[in-house]
Structure 1
Amino acid sequence: MEKFTHAAVSPPNHGTPAMAFGKHVIRMMAANTGGSFGMFEATVPPGEGPPLHMHEREDEFFRVLSGRFGFWCAGDYVELTEGGCIALPRGVPHRFRNVGESEGHIMVVVTPGGFENFFPIIELCKPETPEQIASVAMDFGLTFLPVEGRKVA
């Protein structure tokens, strides 16, 4: 991977679309930032969001671009609307959900980069069973966790 010595730019309406677990647009890749970070945007329908999960490798920063989102992390819950930001640490179970009544949009920065490739890989592999999804996720240091006995929603 090349060193991060030049500006990484993502002009408006550019990026690599990935239709996996919803609509994602990869805006910056680790390959363009010397591995420092990756960035993507997600369009999330009302009531949708990932299940409880944990990242082994990266911290995540979210900025709500539109809509209303609930974030659960380490037993805490916060709701954010447009302009709101939250940072979630690696190694801590968390999830988010669009708790609004309309489609929402979020920007996600992962550091270090690399996880932004998860969605294009899922789109390419098209795993069908929870076991197949978990296998791909494991390659990215991502673990989906059971909800039983946890206070998350």
Structure 2
Amino acid sequence: MKKFTYAAVSPPRHGTRAMAFGKHVIRMMADNTGGSLGMYEAYLQAGEGSPLHIHEREDEFFRVLSGRFGFWCGGDYIELAEGGCIALPRGVPHRFRNVGKTEGRLMGVVTPGGFESFFPIVELCKPETPEQIASVARDFGLAFPPEDDREVA
């Protein structure tokens, strides 16, 4: 991996598409930033989102590019519309969901980078069972704790 001493650029309409857990476009790979960060865009239909999960290795930052999203982090719930931002710490269970009525789009940044490769790997491996998905996730330091009984928006 090259040292991060140059500009990493993702021009408009560029990126690596990955159809895994919705549509994702990987905009910057860790390899392009000396491992400092990775960036992707997620396109989610109304009602879609991530399950409860924990990252062991990286913090996450999201910016809502379009739509309205609910974010659960630890015991907190926050709703954000277009332009809203949230940072989620590693080691804390969290999830998000498009709580709007139309397709929404998020920009996600992970630091350090590496997790952005999860989506292309899932698309390539095509895990079908929860056990297979958990196996791929473990390689990325990702775990899925059991959901609690809270009502989801």
Question: Does residue 124 of the first structure (1) align with residue 124 of the second (2)?
Answer: yes
Considering only aligned residues, what root-mean-square deviation do their CA atoms show, in Å?
Answer: 0.9
List per-residue Cα deviations over 1:101-135 (Å, max 9, x = no partner): 00000000000000000000000000111000000
**Equivalent pairs, count:** 152
Query: 1:20 and 1:45 mapped to 2: Cα distance?
Result: 13
Residue 148 (structure 1) shift: 3.0
Identity %: 79
- Please name the residue that 1:56 is paired with: 56
Unaligned runs of 5+ in 1: none
Residue 85 of structure 1: aligned partner: 85
Give the TM-score of the pair, scaled to structure 2.
0.97
Shift of 1:145: 1.4
Which SS does the other structure have where 1:122 is aligned? helix
Secondary structure of the structure 1 residue equivalent to 2:96? strand
Structure 1 residue 152: Cα displacement:
6.9
Q: Structure 1 residue runs of 4+, over 2 Å off? A: none
* 1:23-60 CA distance string (max 9 Å, x none): 00000000000000000000000001011000000000
Question: Over residues 35-88 of structure 1, what are the superposed CA-to-partner deviations in whole Å (9 max), with x where a residue is unaligned?
Answer: 000000000000010110000000000000000000000100000000000000
Asked if 1:102 is matched to 2:96, the reply is: no
**Secondary structure of the corresponding residue to residue 34 of structure 2:** coil
Map 1:1-153; keep pairs closer than 5 Å.
1-148=1-148, 151=150, 153=152
DSSP-derived class of the 1:17 partner: strand
TM-score (norm 1): 0.97
Distance 2:151 2:58 in 1: 21
Unpaired runs of 5+ in structure 2?
Answer: none
The SS at the match of 1:131 is helix
User: In structure 2, how many angstroms separate the alpha carbons of the residues matched to 1:152 and 1:18?
Assistant: 30
Alpha-carbon distance between aligned partners in 1 of 2:38 and 2:71, rounded to the nearest angstrom: 20
